Amino acid sequence: MINANKQKLTLDRPTAYQIKVPGHLDERWSDWVENMKIEIDDDEIPITILTCKIDQAALLGLLRRLNSLGLPLISVKWLGKE
Average of per-residue pLDDT values in the chain:
85
pLDDT in tens, 17-53: 999 999 988 777 767 778 889 999 888 899 999 999 9
Better-scored residue on pLDDT, 32 or 66: 66
Judge whether 28 and 65 are in contact, CB under 8 Å: no
Angstrom distance (rounded) from CA 72 to CA 82: 26
pLDDT score for 78? 93
Nearest alpha carbon to residue 71 among 25, 28, 29, 35: 25
* 15-80 topology per CATH: Alpha-Beta Plaits (3.30.70)
Kindly state the percentage of the chain with pLDDT values over 90: 56
User: Mean per-residue pLDDT for 5-13?
Assistant: 69
Start-end of H helices in the chain: 56-68
Q: What is the dihedral of CA 66, 72, 77, 81, to 10 degrees?
A: -10
Angstrom distance (rounded) from CA 47 to CA 27: 14
* 1 pLDDT above the threshold of 70: no
